[in-house]
Amino acid sequence: MELKNLKNLKIIWRTFLFYLLIFQFLFLITHNKIFLFILLSFILIGILFPNFPEYLYQFGFFVGEINTKFILFLIFYFIICPISFIRKFIKRKFVGKEETFWEKIDFKIEKENFEKMG
Amino acid sequence: MKPIYILGISAFYHDSAACLLENDRIVAAAQEERFTRIKHDFSFPINSIKFCLEYGNINVGQLDYIVFYEKPFLKFERLIETHIYYAPKSLTQFIQSMPIWLKERIFIKNIIKKEIEENLNEKLNPKTKILFVPHHLSHAASAFFPSPFEISSILTIDGVGEWATATLGIGEKNKIHFFYELKFPSSLGLLYSSFTYYTGFKVNDGEYKLMGLAPYGNPFSETTKKYIKLIKEKLIVIKGDGSFKLNMNFFTFTTSCKMVNEKKWIELFEIPPRKPESEILQEYADMAYAIQKVLEEILIKMARHLKNLSKQKYLVMAGGVALNCVANSKLLEEKLFEDIWVQPAATDAGGAIGAAYAVYHIFLGKERICSEKDKMEGCFLGPKYSIYEIEKVLKKYPNIYYQKEENFDKLCYKVANLIARKNVIGWFVGRMEFGPRALGARSILADARDAEMQKRINLKIKFREGFRPFAPSVLYEDMKEYFIFDKPSPYMLFTAPICKERRNKLPEDYFSWSIKDKLYFLKSDIPAVTHVDFSARIQTVHKEENYKFWKLIKNFKEVTNCSVVVNTSLNVKDEPIVCTPEDAIKTYLKTEMDYLILENYIVSKRKNE
Amino acid sequence: METLKELLKFLIERRKIWLIPLIIILFLIGILIFVSSVTGVSPFIYPLF
């Protein structure tokens, strides 16, 4: 991830403003002073430490990486592994003595095929 | 009639490239690595695309078709099914591959549009269609459509595309028809890459080093015979028609980032995997020899089966395995086919050309006009630089000296004399080559008669393994005086033995010598290009295709009575071949090259010269 | 969404209907990955689970 170019800086500051809006919205809905406190802290820190949004962005990215791997881990063990087990059970093939491993090609090289991604 | 512009793109696996077709003519093609200076760069080839459009003098809005060289959904299906089949072992690969696929690769259509529009600051024409061609059809089209044959058999073999790892087909005029395919994980390319890894070279980069190591193996030793036997009994089942199945208990490329199950391989071969950069023991050379023999056996069986199916007298080949020029020559010797044409950019980079041609001839149904000459333009499809641009760059380097020679023929004569006086010359002339080989546009040239030249260039200029041989470039008309070969080989895709009368007699126990001793034994009167088994990966240089390079070698012949020069790529280890004059100067300054020729300029590090 | 539709159509044509539920889940994860990596809002998204 490159943080140095203008486009990324725009995204970072938009994200920071998004956070501010979320806390402002939460405060207006719940009238809970904690959200006002967080909102004002963010604004103050953002003014005093201009790099803060960048660190917040990096933190968000880091959390995202870890959580992505964790979610994929869950999907792998709760979805992929059961499917694998069921398929292996159903498709138990007794491998005989094949004469060849060549397989006939099932797709046709047709004009319509070119526009599809699969 | 308005010409049709087709932009072919290959990306995201290895060797990204772009190609621009204007009707059936290749206007330009280039690999992304040459611009980004990242070897085997697989990122979206925006620099290559930019170059192709600039060279073709068109803008983005004039493109009629943009075509990607594979089917992303088919590949995704293969990935998911592989993860499911090998679960739970495939966890690591699943977690590593899914984010990139889910974020980017499935949305390739959008990525192509976004990358082109954002980086070139121009909107795509709404009429421009983005198309997708199956991976092996890209390879087949890259082999058949630029070839000089109206009808021929087609054989494509690589690591893996979507599902197919090899295909047998036939091409006729502007159509391609496939007979059979071999499916992943049974892959000749991945089998060879596994041995590349085990012998300490980098996968997708070191395969040709493994090929170069093979002749150092002792074909008569018990170790070599044992290795061949073990490969054919334990690792692979080969049928008479060339089809085969890998024993996946020994391979882990489906479940992890490692190619092989090291524990099982150590038990089998009784030798651990070689650490990169460590000393090459004789056992590894024997292993290289063994896998080369097995690959040749499979290739010949496949070709024989294809011949029975297609009944055609010509063969065209593409896919990474087609770069194994030793195997190509063995296939030629079998005389199954009258002639064989191999796509010079046989790896995925050539897929960009193939995809574009597939659209032109198959999708659009355009007629194909064949001639004796192929359509690759000598493979000189990249950028070239004017004298003005070169001079501008030279002025940035006060520590080098240069002299301009207006008359290029005179320049050739001067350079020929420099080579004859044992100087190593960087040669940067004309359009850059497309594909992995330097063919006389971005080359390092030297005297093939010099016994020390191989060692000197390997260690002091290329900074690479000393055992690696160099390829000769020879005038086509004099080829038979030096090599036992009878067809043009302009792209360095075949090996040929040195003529018997030029060879020195081998001692009786030569094959049991160590690698170092074999390397330094004087094998012929052109020792710098003679490999340990008397073979050479030859390039025939033709006056019509590359006049300047031909003229240089012609002048060298006039000075020395020898029509052969050493030709290796202008780059150092772990860097791509140079692209711009600045790249060439930087490479020149990093090494002990004596002179650098930049078009009409002779560049030296020393003022007096 | 166009891509997802095309992908599902592709799976039906290839007679891999059993893959469809998995692909839809992965696609939704993909949106999550894309959104969180581009905007950095992941500290907000993940606590919602």
**pLDDT tens profile A83-113:** 999 888 877 655 556 889 999 986 668 888 8
Is B304 in a helix, a strand, or coil?
helix
Contact (CB, 8 A) for B525 and B407: no
Whole-angstrom CA distances from B15 to B31, B37, B41, B87, B212 are 7, 12, 6, 30, 21
Q: Per the CB < 8 Å rule, is C42 touching A61?
A: yes
The reported pLDDT for the residue numbered B202 is: 94
Q: Is residue B176 part of a domain?
A: no
| Chain A residue with the nearest C-alpha to that of B118 | A7
Chain B partners within 8 Å of C7 (Cβ): 73, 76, 106
- The residue among B27 and B515 whose pLDDT is bigger is B27
Q: Per the CB < 8 Å rule, is B132 touching A99?
A: no
**Is the pLDDT at A3 greater than 50, yes or no?**
no
Chain B partners within 8 Å of A84 (Cβ): 84-88
- Per-residue pLDDT reduced to its tens digit, A16-68: 787 788 888 888 888 888 888 888 888 888 888 878 878 877 887 788 888 88
Whole-angstrom CA distances from B546 to B302, B380, B433, B552 are 35, 9, 11, 10
Q: Is residue B397 part of a domain?
A: yes
Q: Are both B206 and B334 inside the same structural domain?
A: yes
**Is the pLDDT at A5 greater than 80, yes or no?**
no
Q: Are both B404 and B545 inside the same structural domain?
A: yes
- Picking from A99, A100, A109, the nearest residue to B137 by CB comes out as A109
Beta bridge pairs of residue B537: B495
- Per-residue pLDDT reduced to its tens digit, B301-344: 999 999 999 999 999 999 999 999 999 999 999 999 999 999 99
The reported pLDDT for the residue numbered A95 is: 54
**Enclosing domain of residue B573:** 387-604
Q: Are both B137 and B241 inside the same structural domain?
A: no
Beta bridge pairs of residue B441: none
**Is the pLDDT at B583 greater than 50, yes or no?**
yes
Q: Are both B294 and B392 inside the same structural domain?
A: no
For chain A, how big is the Rg over CA atoms in Å? 26
- Picking from B94, B181, B241, the nearest residue to A105 by CB comes out as B181
The reported pLDDT for the residue numbered C49 is: 41
Amino acid sitting at position A74? L
How far is C-alpha B510 from the geometric centre of its chain's CA atoms?
31
CATH of the domain at B288: 3.30.420.40
Whole-angstrom distance, CA of residue B330 vs CA of residue B160: 23
Q: Are both B449 and B582 inside the same structural domain?
A: yes
Closest among B510, B519, B523 to B465, alpha carbons compared: B519
pLDDT tier for residue B447 given thresholds of 50, 70 and 90 = very high
Q: Are both B351 and B396 inside the same structural domain?
A: no
| Chain C residue with the nearest C-alpha to that of A54 | C40
**Is the pLDDT at B479 greater than 90, yes or no?**
yes
Chain A: give the shortest CA distance to residue C41, in Å: 6
Contact (CB, 8 A) for B585 and B389: no
The reported pLDDT for the residue numbered B196 is: 97
Chain B partners within 8 Å of C8 (Cβ): none
Contacts of B331 (CB under 8 A, 6+ apart): B296, B299, B300, B303, B315, B337, B340
pLDDT tier for residue C48 given thresholds of 50, 70 and 90 = very low
Q: What's the total number of domains in chain B?
A: 3
Q: Per the CB < 8 Å rule, is C33 touching B102?
A: yes
Q: Is residue B414 part of a domain?
A: yes
Q: Is A73 on the interface with B (CB under 8 A)?
A: yes
Q: Per the CB < 8 Å rule, is C26 touching A75?
A: yes
Amino acid sitting at position B217? G
**Is the pLDDT at B283 greater than 50, yes or no?**
yes
**Is the pLDDT at B609 greater than 60, yes or no?**
no
Q: Are both B414 and B497 inside the same structural domain?
A: yes
Is B180 in a helix, a strand, or coil?
strand
The reported pLDDT for the residue numbered B338 is: 97
The reported pLDDT for the residue numbered B149 is: 98
Contact (CB, 8 A) for B538 and B471: yes
Is B578 in a helix, a strand, or coil?
coil
Q: Are both B135 and B278 inside the same structural domain?
A: no
Chain C partners within 8 Å of A71 (Cβ): 29, 32
Three-class secondary structure assignment of B50-88: HHHHHHCCCCHHHCCEEEECCCHHHHHHHHHHHHHHHCC
- Picking from C14, C33, C42, the nearest residue to A63 by CB comes out as C42
Is B255 in a helix, a strand, or coil?
coil
| Residue recorded with tokens 């072992």 | B89
Residue pairs spanning B and C at CB distance below 8 A: 34
Listed range (A1-10, B77-86, B303-312, B356-365) with the worst mean pLDDT: A1-10
The reported pLDDT for the residue numbered A39 is: 83
User: What average pLDDT does chain B have?
Assistant: 95
Interface of C with B in 1-49 (CB under 8 A): 3, 6-7, 10-11, 14, 16, 19, 22-23, 26-27, 29-30, 33-34, 37
Q: In the Cβ-directed half-sphere of B539, how many Cα atoms lie within 13 Å? A: 30
Percent of chain B's residues with pLDDT above 70: 100
Q: Per the CB < 8 Å rule, is A64 touching C33?
A: yes
- Per-residue pLDDT reduced to its tens digit, C24-46: 888 888 777 776 666 666 666 55
pLDDT tier for residue B65 given thresholds of 50, 70 and 90 = very high
Q: Is residue B122 part of a domain?
A: yes
pLDDT tier for residue B295 given thresholds of 50, 70 and 90 = very high
